[in-house]
């Protein structure tokens, strides 16, 4: 037999990321924005708690919000665990049961139960939650429970029952934690899915299992684990009062570390809830109060830095003090990096001895591994009914398929509910107050009978964007605002200030090949405007694909997505355009292609000044389209199209599937025949030869240029 391959690792192995470039405006913008947004979320969620009555009154709502953000509101049905013990290993003073249970039907949890051989009475129990330890023997996963077997063995030798459970990603049946981290599965955001919710439910059902065991004293159950297991520890304790004491090890820090300092780059998705309600993480830990809580960390942990741990502890101290339970909060800082060492293990053993057994003897022996990993496997084969490998597609409740309304009143109510749901669950990260637009001219030039203008505007603090306008008439009869993707626009404007260079920039933004093409667009007296939302084109980020991914993930931790904030940018562009007197009252058509078209669609739902939409080749579902937080729990793209059509004309080219539901609603409610117009896709127009930095920067996954043509409507 080949030896086991054992890797004890953090959530993912940290590695140096490309440093942001100070020459890139998008990097500077992002750094300032993330710092400000993190401070705003932190100050709002971690406001000082000065009154116990106030805190206890909030606690129930906070727990419900936490469950919601983990996909556990409502909780899944507590179905039969179908627990099965598949083998027993006997030692001199304890034994190990190899077992599995199903937290929901088909979601297998493989585990080992360590217990004394002859307990004299129901014993205290510890649920041990594993970090990211990959243990493989002869190509077969033994589960990360085997990497942490020494903890279970120590507890059993000292009179505890200890259940060590595998995680979804690194159990005997390999699931997935890395959806947004490395697999590009941004649809997890749209579903409101996080594997942290699955791991939390695993822990809750593990407590259910422990409660069935006659050897266990149900009033004396503790929870601990390290790294990912540390994170799950305080999550489970926050949700379930059956946890009498908790000791997360290297599993908590705050938003400042994750977002501003970049520790998110060392963590996979299982570490984070879907931050719909915009929490900082100490708030979740505070739901453990006043039960005994020990925070354990090292002084040089790169993914759980000491300063964030100390800020978390400071907030927790204020909450525990309200209860008069300050002695129930402990803090241990050991030396070293992110490792499972005796310096961290011994304080946890003492904590549970003190709070679950009422004693505090010296810890005379260490936790050591005694079993070959393969000997601890609970399964001899993968069950055919397992859903572990696909749980991300099954977890949580998505919005039901839409039906055609039977009355205008019912439809109006449904649209209002959808809009309210979008604002609360998908776009809660938008600013509460729009703030000043601070519109300022960027340039104005003429060529070929066309006036090219641009203004910079403030979408929100630290986010300055550019709005381009092309017009032939002094008083435009209408305006068409196109949402561009910035393809071909460089991150910095390295062109000289010579005449015509700004015109090239505007043409590239619009996806137009020449001044003549722009003049052709303007023959009917309408103006053409273009906006490129944040972190595309001139404000794009530097770095490789991995850095681009982690920049996007930072938004997730702030209760946003970059796509969702681009919708806000478009709304602000509409407002900035209306701020100019020559465009204040003329009919405005909002246009876009692909994902940019979807952003335009959603912006139109919240802006009253949109006369019509012209959308080309937009996806039919958020499963393959833009990722707005939780959107599939509220609606999908066809419903959004129908809401927009209720407000004005919608032209869809190359998007019949996205428009079919709106057309059905229109027929049922008697809308004008041309309210929803479907047609073939529009051919893409090539960029002009020049670009703003001398060479095009293709950005994988972003839209193609928005094609423009003369509209048949204002």
Q: Is the pLDDT of residue 476 over 60?
A: yes
DSSP H or E stretch at residue 519: helix 515-521
Q: Is the pLDDT of residue 713 over 50?
A: no
Structure confidence by residue, pLDDT tens digits, 619-671: 999 999 999 999 999 999 999 999 999 999 999 999 999 999 999 999 999 99
Q: Which pLDDT belongs to residue 119?
A: 80
Would you state the structure tokens that stand for residue 556, as one six-digit string? 């997730």
Average pLDDT for residues 119-147, to the nearest whole number? 95
Higher pLDDT, residue 682 or 647: 647
DSSP type of residue 336: S
Q: Is 175 helix (H, G, I), strand (E, B) or coil?
A: coil
Rounded Cα–Cα distance for residues 345 and 525 (Å): 75
What angle is formed at CA 712 by the lines to CA 709 and CA 714, rounded to 5 degrees?
100
Q: Is the pLDDT of residue 701 over 90?
A: no
Q: Which pLDDT belongs to residue 549?
A: 97
Same fold? 21-392, 415-679: yes
DSSP H or E stretch at residue 32: helix 25-45
Would you state the structure tokens that stand for residue 687, as one six-digit string? 């960029």
Q: Is the pLDDT of residue 702 over 80?
A: no
Q: For residue 120, what pLDDT band results from cuts at 50, 70 and 90?
A: confident
Higher pLDDT, residue 582 or 3: 582
Q: Which pLDDT belongs to residue 15?
A: 44
| E strands, 372-495, in order | 440-447, 450-460, 463-471, 479-483
Q: Is the pLDDT of residue 710 over 80?
A: no
Q: Which pLDDT belongs to residue 488?
A: 86
- Looking at the DSSP bridge assignments, the partners of residue 455 are 441, 467
Average pLDDT for residues 346-363, to the nearest whole number? 97
Q: What are phi and psi of 293, to 5 degrees?
A: -135, 120
Q: For residue 226, what pLDDT band results from cuts at 50, 70 and 90?
A: very high
Q: Which pLDDT belongs to residue 19?
A: 55
Cis-peptide, bond into residue 74, ω within 30° of zero: yes
Average pLDDT for residues 702-709, to the nearest whole number? 31
Cα distances (Å, whole numbers) of residue 236 to 28, 29, 281, 425, 559: 38, 37, 14, 23, 21
Q: Which pLDDT belongs to residue 631?
A: 98
Q: Is 114 helix (H, G, I), strand (E, B) or coil?
A: strand
Spacing of C-alpha 518 from chain mean position: 40
From the list 356, 360, 19, the residue with the least C-alpha distance to 160 is: 356
Rounded Cα–Cα distance for residues 312 and 307 (Å): 9
DSSP H or E stretch at residue 43: helix 25-45
Least reliable range by pLDDT among 7-11, 114-118, 559-563:
7-11
What residues contact 550, with CB distance under 8 A and at least 6 apart? Answer: 17, 262, 264, 265
| Cβ–Cβ under 8 Å, residues 555 and 565 | yes
Q: What are phi and psi of 644, to 5 degrees?
A: -60, -40
Cα distances (Å, whole numbers) of residue 99 to 111, 119, 223, 268: 5, 20, 19, 27
From the list 349, 122, 288, the residue with the least C-alpha distance to 220 is: 122
Sheet order of strands, 588-593 included: 440-447, 450-460, 463-471, 527-531, 479-483, 588-593, 612-616, 649-653, 676-679
Q: Which pLDDT belongs to residue 482?
A: 98
Q: Is the pLDDT of residue 707 over 80?
A: no
Measured over the CA atoms of residue 701, residue 702, residue 704 and residue 709, the dihedral's sign is positive
Domain ranges of the chain: 21-392, 415-679
Average pLDDT for residues 421-446, to the nearest whole number? 96
| Cβ–Cβ under 8 Å, residues 479 and 589 | yes
Measured over the CA atoms of residue 36, residue 37, residue 38 and residue 44, the dihedral's sign is positive
What angle is formed at CA 593 by the lines to CA 591 and CA 594, rounded to 5 degrees?
140
Rounded Cα–Cα distance for residues 628 and 187 (Å): 9
What residues contact 512, with CB distance under 8 A and at least 6 apart? Answer: 518, 521, 685, 688, 708
DSSP type of residue 242: T
| Cβ–Cβ under 8 Å, residues 459 and 566 | no
Structure confidence by residue, pLDDT tens digits, 343-353: 999 999 999 99
Would you state the structure tokens that stand for residue 548, as one six-digit string? 């681009």
Q: Which pLDDT belongs to residue 497?
A: 41
Average pLDDT for residues 610-624, to the nearest whole number? 96
Rounded Cα–Cα distance for residues 71 and 73 (Å): 6
Least reliable range by pLDDT among 318-322, 449-453, 698-702:
698-702
From the list 515, 510, 525, 498, the residue with the least C-alpha distance to 450 is: 515
Q: Which pLDDT belongs to residue 247?
A: 98
Alpha helices, DSSP H only, in 170-221? 187-191, 195-212
Structure confidence by residue, pLDDT tens digits, 140-171: 999 999 999 999 999 999 999 999 999 999 99
Rounded Cα–Cα distance for residues 199 and 229 (Å): 9
Structure confidence by residue, pLDDT tens digits, 518-559: 999 898 899 999 999 999 999 999 999 999 999 999 999 999
Out of 3.40.50.1820, 3.30.70.600, 1.10.10.10, 1.20.1250.20, which CATH number does the structure's domain 21-392 have?
3.40.50.1820
Q: Which pLDDT belongs to residue 515?
A: 94
Q: Which pLDDT belongs to residue 581?
A: 92
Q: Is the pLDDT of residue 684 over 90?
A: no
Q: Is the pLDDT of residue 318 over 60?
A: yes
Rounded Cα–Cα distance for residues 279 and 498 (Å): 49
Higher pLDDT, residue 622 or 704: 622
Q: Which pLDDT belongs to residue 118?
A: 85
621, 625, 628, 634: CA torsion to nearest 10: 0
Q: Which pLDDT belongs to residue 473?
A: 81
DSSP type of residue 28: H
Average pLDDT for residues 353-381, to the nearest whole number? 96
From the list 444, 423, 578, 564, the residue with the least C-alpha distance to 503 is: 444
| Cβ–Cβ under 8 Å, residues 501 and 495 | yes
DSSP H or E stretch at residue 657: helix 656-669
Q: Which pLDDT belongs to residue 683?
A: 73
Q: b/e for 106-130, b at 16 or more Cβ within 10 A?
A: bbbbbbbbbbbeebeeebbbbbbbb
Q: Which pLDDT belongs to residue 471?
A: 96
Q: Is the pLDDT of residue 498 over 60?
A: no
Query: How confident is the prediction for the chain on average, in pLDDT?
Result: 91
| Cβ–Cβ under 8 Å, residues 111 and 129 | no
Rounded Cα–Cα distance for residues 633 and 620 (Å): 16
Query: 649-653 and 676-679 as β-strands: parallel, antiparallel, unpaired?
Result: parallel
Which class would CATH give 415-679? alpha beta
What residues contact 384, with CB distance under 8 A and at least 6 apart? Answer: none
Q: Which pLDDT belongs to residue 17?
A: 43
Average pLDDT for residues 242-268, to the nearest whole number? 97
The pTM score is 0.92
Would you state the structure tokens that stand for residue 614, as one six-digit string? 């012209």
Rounded Cα–Cα distance for residues 307 and 300 (Å): 10
Residue 61 burial (C-beta neighbours within 10 Å; 0-12, 13-18, 19+): exposed
Q: Which pLDDT belongs to residue 491?
A: 60
- Looking at the DSSP bridge assignments, the partners of residue 295 are 331
Q: Is 299 helix (H, G, I), strand (E, B) or coil?
A: coil
Structure confidence by residue, pLDDT tens digits, 394-412: 999 999 999 999 999 999 9
Q: For residue 686, what pLDDT band results from cuts at 50, 70 and 90?
A: low
């Amino acid at each position: 037999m080949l030896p086991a391959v054992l890797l004890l690792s953090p959530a993912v192995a940290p590695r140096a990321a490309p440093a942001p470039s100070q020459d890139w405006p998008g990097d500077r913008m992002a750094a300032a924005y993330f710092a400000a947004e993190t401070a705003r979320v932190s100050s709002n969620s971690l406001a000082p708690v000065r009154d116990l009555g106030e805190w206890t009154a909030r606690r129930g709502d906070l727990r419900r919000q936490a469950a919601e953000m983990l996909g556990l509101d409502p909780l899944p049905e507590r179905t039969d665990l179908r627990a099965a013990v598949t083998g027993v290993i006997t030692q001199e003073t304890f034994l190990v049961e190899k077992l599995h249970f199903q937290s929901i039907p088909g979601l297998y949890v493989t585990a080992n139960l360590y217990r004394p051989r002859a307990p004299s009475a129901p014993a205290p129990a510890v649920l041990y939650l594993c970090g990211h330890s990959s243990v493989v023997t002869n190509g077969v996963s033994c589960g990360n429970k085997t990497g942490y077997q020494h903890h279970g063995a120590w507890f059993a030798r000292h009179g505890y029952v200890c259940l060590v459970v595998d995680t979804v990603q690194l159990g005997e049946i390999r699931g997935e934690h890395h959806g947004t981290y490395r697999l590009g599965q941004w649809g997890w955001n749209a579903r409101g899915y996080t594997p942290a919710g699955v791991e939390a439910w695993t822990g809750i059902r593990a407590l259910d299992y422990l409660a069935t065991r006659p050897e266990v004293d149900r009033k004396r159950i503790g929870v601990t684990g390290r790294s990912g297991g540390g994170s799950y520890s305080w999550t489970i304790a926050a949700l379930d009062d059956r946890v009498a004491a908790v000791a997360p090890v290297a599993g908590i820090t705050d938003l400042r570390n994750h977002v501003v300092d970049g520790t998110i780059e060392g963590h996979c998705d299982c570490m984070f809830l879907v931050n719909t309600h915009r929490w900082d993480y100490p708030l979740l830990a505070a739901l453990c109060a006043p039960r005994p809580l020990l925070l354990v960390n090292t002084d040089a942990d790169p993914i759980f830095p000491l300063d964030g741990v100390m800020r978390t502890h400071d907030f927790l101290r204020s909450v525990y003090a309200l209860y008069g339970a300050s002695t129930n909060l402990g803090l241990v800082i050991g030396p070293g990096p992110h490792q499972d060492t005796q310096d961290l293990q011994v304080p946890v053993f003492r904590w549970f001895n003190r709070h679950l057994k009422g004693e505090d003897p010296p810890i005379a022996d260490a936790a050591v591994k005694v079993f070959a990993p393969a000997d601890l496997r609970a399964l001899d084969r993968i069950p055919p009914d397992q859903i572990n490998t696909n749980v991300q597609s099954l977890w949580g409740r998505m919005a039901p398929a839409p039906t055609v309304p039977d009355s205008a009143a019912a439809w109006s109510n449904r649209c209002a509910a959808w809009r309210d749901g979008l604002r609360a669950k998908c776009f809660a990260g938008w600013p509460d107050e729009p703030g000043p637009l601070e519109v300022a001219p960027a340039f104005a030039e003429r060529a070929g009978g066309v006036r090219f203008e641009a203004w910079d505007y403030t979408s929100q603090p630290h986010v300055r964007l550019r709005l381009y306008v092309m017009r032939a008439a002094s008083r435009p009869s209408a305006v068409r605002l196109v949402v561009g993707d910035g393809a071909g626009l460089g991150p910095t404007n390295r062109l000289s200030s010579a005449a015509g260079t700004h015109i090239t920039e505007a043409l590239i933004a619009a996806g137009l090949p020449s001044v003549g093409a722009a003049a052709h667009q303007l023959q009917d007296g309408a103006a053409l405007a273009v906006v490129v939302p944040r972190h595309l084109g001139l404000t794009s980020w530097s770095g490789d694909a991995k850095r681009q991914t982690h920049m996007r993930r930072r938004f997730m931790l702030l209760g946003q997505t970059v796509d969702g904030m681009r919708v806000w940018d478009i709304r602000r562009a509409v407002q900035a355009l209306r701020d100019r007197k020559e465009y204040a009252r003329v009919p405005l058509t909002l246009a876009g292609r692909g994902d940019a078209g979807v952003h335009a669609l959603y912006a139109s739902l919240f802006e009253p000044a949109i006369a019509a939409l012209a959308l080309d080749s937009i996806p039919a579902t958020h499963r393959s389209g833009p990722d707005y937080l939780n959107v599939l729990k509220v609606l999908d793209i066809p419903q959004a199209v129908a809401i927009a059509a209720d407000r004005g004309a919608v032209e869809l080219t190359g998007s019949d599937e996205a428009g079919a539901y709106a057309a059905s609603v229109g027929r049922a409610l008697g809308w004008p025949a041309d309210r929803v117009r479907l047609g073939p896709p529009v051919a893409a127009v090539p960029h002009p030869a020049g670009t703003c930095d001398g060479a095009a920067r293709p950005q994988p996954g972003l839209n193609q240029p928005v094609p423009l043509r003369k509209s048949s409507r204002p």
